[in-house]
Copies of this chain bind each other. A is one copy, B any other.
């Protein structure tokens, strides 16, 4: 039915334009120099994110449509391939910050050229071709949304590593006015046989297959752990008492000399934190974040609670509307919980990612996609922990109850906080 197809085509064109423009808009306040810096091997320069997401469309859409496709930038495949072994050799990850060239102007031209080609390709594709590229195109847009979050995380890392603490945006953060936040309640779930994993809506391969798990009854906290609660942990010797910590966590803490969440600084007896709006006083009612899994786990043990498993979290989250504080609000800082009296758990989506007790592994029967894109998720299923729910730097349309994010247990630069369970 051609008319249906034309609807899809229009939707794809619109979505493509929106997502790509959203990415560019995130960088409006940056100076050319800012696009170059790589704060640490785990982070990437903004410029690299802009180019890599573009390379993705070239590699998995344009080059698939046209076997003689010539890239819009000669060195793109070497410079902007992230980790796809099947697509070829590439620059070492920790050397991305050495690339002053191509300049940001060249990268913008590269994006523009590829965008033009993509829009032309979508517009002119036959119905058959369109249906062939549709799924990878949607994957590419979701991939780009992931990098929107990474851009914000990584530029925060770059600015945070700079002693002058540059301000990414002047927009003030006014969470204090929101007051003390909501009281902690425990939300009960009776467990039993539960469904887990992606359904009909778009999802990544790591959310598949949809499957059944058996859960014991459990409770999760109605809101995220606040800075005030975390400060109580710190005041009670949280960072100096090994009994709360995993063995590896204690070693990581000791080696890296953690004494507070990442970005926190003590100035004149008061804790401050670096935000994308500059240095701010730590606000009691806001959710604590920029903590590692090890810190989240130690806090939970100190609280005589634990972190939820990802299956538990998913049961609780599934009925909740996907509402909260996301990238689109442009605040890039979580807000205190606000109890609207619905009885639902608060802050499930947005604000900060929530560490779970679940190592990142394959779901029963998982198979990665065939071809190069099979490297997208599967090969990282080891020694990482699952996080759920999205953050204030995640696009709202990108998140869902089944979404599985993952980071190493010592990582702290992502926007990750804590929800307790028991």
A residues engaging B (CB < 8 A)? 31-37, 39, 47, 75, 78-79, 83, 85-86, 91, 95, 97-104, 158-159, 161-164, 166, 193, 211-216, 218, 242-243, 245-250, 293-294, 297, 306, 309, 357-359, 361-362, 364-365, 374, 379-383, 409
Contacts and interface: CB of A to CB of B under 8 A. Distances in A.
Contact of A85 (B37, B103, B243): B243
Contacts of A159: 100-101
Contact of A246 (B33, B297, B306, B381): B381
A246 to B, nearest CB: 5
A47 to B, nearest CB: 8
Contacts of A97: 37, 97
Given A212-B214, A361-B357, A382-B409, A100 B162 contact: yes
Nearest to A86: B243
B249 A31 contact: no
A78 B163 contact: yes
Nearest to A365: B216
A158 B364 contact: no
Given A33-B104, A39-B98, A102-B164, 18 more contacts: A32-B32, A33-B33, A33-B35, A75-B164, A85-B243, A86-B243, A91-B163, A99-B164, A100-B162, A212-B216, A214-B214, A216-B365, A246-B381, A247-B380, A248-B380, A248-B382, A306-B362, A383-B409
A33 B100 contact: yes
Contacts of A103: 31-33
Nearest to A83: B247
A294 B31 CA distance: 42
Contacts of A161: 95, 98
Contacts of A409: 382-383
A348 B226 CA distance: 48
Given A214-B214, A359-B359, A380-B247, A162 B98 contact: yes
Contacts of A294: 382
A47 B34 CA distance: 13
A74 to B, nearest CB: 8
A383 B104 CA distance: 39
A193 B101 CA distance: 55
Q: Which of A91, A218, A248 has the most CB of B within 10 A?
A: A248
A158 B297 CA distance: 36
A96 to B, nearest CB: 11
A251 to B, nearest CB: 11
A292 to B, nearest CB: 11
Contacts of A362: 306, 357
Contacts of A365: 216
Given A91-B163, A213-B214, A100 B379 contact: no
15 contacts: A33-B47, A33-B101, A34-B101, A85-B242, A98-B162, A100-B159, A100-B162, A216-B364, A248-B383, A249-B382, A293-B382, A306-B362, A357-B362, A359-B361, A383-B409
A36 to B, nearest CB: 5
A31 B248 CA distance: 35
